[in-house]
């Protein structure tokens, strides 16, 4: 209830316990392609995304990182004319791309945070109430859930006295942490980040980066970033996207350490060394 | 202050700026003057008569004396009918256009085209249509219901257009944000999009109310002329605007009464509009702060 700074939620290093049903899930992608009408943006993707680890997707602009990321929780469905082929399997056997898959519960399990912070233009509290209610949380459990995740993202002390105020009035960095908290509130198993820091100033960016790093072990994290230093700091695994024959694909992937220090693909090597891209 | 290159002549001389500002101010003053003159003229002729008995009394001597009580009630009932139909219909149509069909699809183009055409139909044509369709085909006769529904058809395009542009002006990342959290479309529309678009929708309703309350031609053949107290939506009832028209055209020596009625109509529009704005603000604030 009235947890102070010493409570368990505040310690982000320990895998969360006590009431959380969160378990990380792994994703296994094979033969995936994303098409916009006749245009194939991404093709031939095979990638294992292990549970509880941070996988960074890097590569030059326009090579299909976002398209790939959005296919992981079917946000690609929102774009008219966009089609995804191939297989994305969650560790419990759920086939993401299958037409009969329950998209709404899939998106609860595979959450997403976007480049531009996008809180709802309502009160901070409503930002949690709407999605939590939607996914079956009881009304009386919502305040606790909200407090827990706001503590996890380090916002509780900053904003606990203005939960009834508009979320839009927060600073960009606070808004982004609010969006992360909102995604975490639904107890996802995987969380996708699409350049979560690129709209933020360096300090706010550092805070968000630490926060993402702290999710390691509890959740499976997939993060697209243009900041190679950031990818190096936080990622366990990395995948380099590159446009080959007009189609975006993964040219190098594996443990982050190896990908960044000894890439075998020449395109990836030149991109990572800063020579191209 | 300092020009980019010394001695370079400014493209437009400064006096032109001044002249433009002066012309703008004159135009603004004239526009306001017109409004002020109109209100003052109405008030000068009409204000002396306005009293509680005028607002609640019945019409006497064909409108040369007495009050406008029954007409005020009829007008409000017509407005209620009209809004009860046009608000759900207009928002529904705009929601469908913005959230459920692809922009530029044949269906969307047909519907927007139809709605836009409706907007250019003269109100007298709506009156004739209402008389035949609501009055005769649906057997509502000359009634407040007929009149209100006819007005609803007439102001529908205003509501659809304003609601649609309010929905289209919403931040583009609202929809991915709600989809990314696994919200259903219904939740997203009811709890996010409509509240965010509410101020725009209210502007549409406000414009519509203004249009509806000042309408004469569409009502003459539908809600009719009766000056008795209406006892239900099925009764005929004369609207204030129809009364003004009737006094001016058919009743000699009733100019002052017409002015008084016009003044009341103006005040009514003001009151109803402020009520709509206040209500939506109150609702938004509640929405913002509590569950
Ligand atoms: N909605 C769309 N309709 C058509 N083509 C699209 C759409 N979205 C993306 N594309 C195309 O797909 C390709 C991949 O785009 P995507 O946004 O996935 O790249 P990205 O790697 O995320 O780029 P960035 O780093 O700039 O965000 C690009 O060629 C882009 O033009
Ligand atoms: Mg992108």
pLDDT of the residue at B62: 83
| A42 Cα–ligand 1 center, Å | 9
What span, in angstroms and rounded, lies between the C-alpha atoms of B175 and A106? 17
Residues lining ligand 1, CB < 6 A? A 36, 39, 41, 61-67, 79, 248
What span, in angstroms and rounded, lies between the C-alpha atoms of A264 and B271? 75
Question: What would the pLDDT profile of B258-269 be if each residue is shown by its tens digit?
Answer: 999 999 999 999
pLDDT of the residue at A276: 65
What span, in angstroms and rounded, lies between the C-alpha atoms of A63 and A271? 13
pLDDT of the residue at B3: 53
Is B43 within the bounds of a domain? no
pLDDT band (50, 70, 90) for residue A7 = very low
Give the predicted TM-score (pTM) of the model: 0.83
Give contacts of A134 with chain B, Cβ < 8 Å: 181-184, 187
Is B162 within the bounds of a domain? yes
Q: With 0-12 CB in 10 A as exposed, 13-18 as middle and 19+ as buried, what is A199?
A: middle
**Helix boundaries (H) for chain B:** 14-46, 52-56, 69-95, 106-119, 123-130, 144-168, 174-180, 185-187, 194-213, 217-220, 240-250, 255-289
Is B157 within the bounds of a domain? yes
What span, in angstroms and rounded, lies between the C-alpha atoms of A77 and A139? 30
Is B112 within the bounds of a domain? yes
Is B131 within the bounds of a domain? yes
Is B287 within the bounds of a domain? no
Number of domains in chain B: 1
pLDDT of the residue at B287: 62
Q: Which ligand is nearest to the CA of A194?
A: 2
Q: Is A120 in contact with B174 (CB distance < 8 Å)?
A: yes
Window from A226-235, A265-274, B151-160 with minimum mean pLDDT = A265-274
Question: What would the pLDDT profile of A92-148 be if each residue is shown by its tens digit?
Answer: 989 999 999 999 999 999 999 999 999 999 999 999 999 999 999 999 999 999 999
What span, in angstroms and rounded, lies between the C-alpha atoms of A266 and B11? 56
Q: What does chain B come to in residues? A: 291
Residue A10 clears pLDDT 50, i.e. is over it = no
Residue A64 clears pLDDT 90, i.e. is over it = yes
* For residues B175-191, average pLDDT: 94
φ, ψ of residue B51 to 5 degrees: the values are -155, 175
Mean of all residue pLDDT scores within chain A = 89
What span, in angstroms and rounded, lies between the C-alpha atoms of A59 and A272? 9
Q: Whose CA is nearest to atom 4 of ligand 1?
A: A36
Question: What would the pLDDT profile of B87-133 be if each residue is shown by its tens digit?
Answer: 999 999 999 999 998 888 899 999 999 999 999 999 999 999 999 99
ipTM of the complex, rounded to two decimals: 0.86
Closest residue of chain B to A105, computed from CA coordinates:
B182
Is B12 within the bounds of a domain? no
Q: What CATH number has the domain bearing residue B191?
A: 1.10.3720.10
What span, in angstroms and rounded, lies between the C-alpha atoms of A163 and B286? 13
pLDDT of the residue at B280: 83
pLDDT of the residue at B9: 66
Percent of residues, chain B, with pLDDT higher than 90: 66
Residue A11 clears pLDDT 70, i.e. is over it = no
Contact B179 A75 (CB under 8 A): yes
Mean of all residue pLDDT scores within chain B = 90
Q: Range of B146's domain?
A: 72-239
Contact B180 A112 (CB under 8 A): yes
pLDDT band (50, 70, 90) for residue A224 = very high
Number of H helices, E strands in chain B: 12, 2
Is B109 within the bounds of a domain? yes
Q: Is A226 helix (H, G, I), strand (E, B) or coil?
A: coil
């Amino acid at each position: 209830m009235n947890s102070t700074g010493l409570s368990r939620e505040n310690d982000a290093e320990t895998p969360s316990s006590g009431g959380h049903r969160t378990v990380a899930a792994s994703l296994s992608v094979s033969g995936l392609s994303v098409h916009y009408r006749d245009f194939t943006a991404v093709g031939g993707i095979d990638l294992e995304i292990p549970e509880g680890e941070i996988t960074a997707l890097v590569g030059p602009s326009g090579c299909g990182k976002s398209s790939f990321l959005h296919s992981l929780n079917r946000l690609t469905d929102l774009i008219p004319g966009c089609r995804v082929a191939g297989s994305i399997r969650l560790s419990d056997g759920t086939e993401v791309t299958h037409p009969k898959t329950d998209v709404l519960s899939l998106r609860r399990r595979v959450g997403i945070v976007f480049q531009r912070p996008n809180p709802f233009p309502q009160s901070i509290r409503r930002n949690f109430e709407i999605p939590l209610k939607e996914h079956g949380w009881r009304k009386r459990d919502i305040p606790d859930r909200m407090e827990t995740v706001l503590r996890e993202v380090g916002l509780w002390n900053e904003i606990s006295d203005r939960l009834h105020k508009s979320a839009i009035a927060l600073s960009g960095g606070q808004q982004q942490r609010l969006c992360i908290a909102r995604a975490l509130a639904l107890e996802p198993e995987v969380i996708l980040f699409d350049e979560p820091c690129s709209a933020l100033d360096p300090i706010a960016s550092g805070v968000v980066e630490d926060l993402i790093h702290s999710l390691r072990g509890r959740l499976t994290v997939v993060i697209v970033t243009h900041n190679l230093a950031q990818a190096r700091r936080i990622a366990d695994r990395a995948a380099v996207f590159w446009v080959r024959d007009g189609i975006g694909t993964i040219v190098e992937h594996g443990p982050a350490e190896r990908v960044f220090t000894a890439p075998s693909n020449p395109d990836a090597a030149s991109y990572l060394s800063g020579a191209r891209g | 202050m300092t020009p980019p290159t010394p001695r370079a002549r400014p493209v437009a001389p400064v006096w032109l700026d001044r002249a433009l500002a002066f012309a703008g101010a004159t135009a603004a003053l004239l526009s306001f003057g017109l409004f002020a003159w109109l209100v003052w003229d109405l008030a000068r002729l009409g204000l002396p008569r306005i009293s509680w008995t005028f607002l609640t009394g019945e019409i006497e001597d064909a409108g040369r004396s007495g009050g406008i009580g029954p007409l005020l009630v009829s007008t409000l009932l017509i407005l209620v009918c009209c809004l009860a139909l046009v608000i759900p219909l207009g928002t529904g149509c705009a929601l469908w256009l913005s959230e459920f069909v692809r922009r530029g699809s044949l269906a969307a183009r047909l519907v927007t085209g139809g709605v836009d055409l409706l907007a250019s139909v003269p109100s007298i044509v709506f009156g004739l249509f209402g008389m035949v369709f609501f009055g005769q085909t649906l057997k509502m006769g000359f009634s407040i219901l007929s009149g209100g529904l006819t007005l609803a058809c007439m102001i529908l395009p205003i509501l659809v257009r304003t609601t649609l542009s309010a929905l289209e002006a919403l931040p583009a990342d609202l929809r991915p944000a709600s989809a990314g959290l696994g919200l259903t479309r219904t939740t997203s529309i009811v709890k996010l999009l409509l509240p965010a678009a509410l101020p725009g929708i209210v502007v549409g309703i406000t414009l519509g109310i203004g249009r509806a309350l000042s309408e004469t031609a569409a009502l003459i053949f539908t809600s009719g002329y009766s000056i008795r107290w209406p006892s239900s939506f099925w009764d005929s009832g004369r609207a204030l605007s129809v009364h003004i028209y009737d006094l001016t055209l058919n009743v000699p020596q009733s100019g002052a009464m017409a002015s008084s009625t016009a003044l009341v109509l103006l005040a009514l529009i003001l009151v109803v509009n402020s009520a709509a704005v206040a209500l939506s603000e109150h609702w938004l604030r509640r929405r913002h702060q509590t569950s």
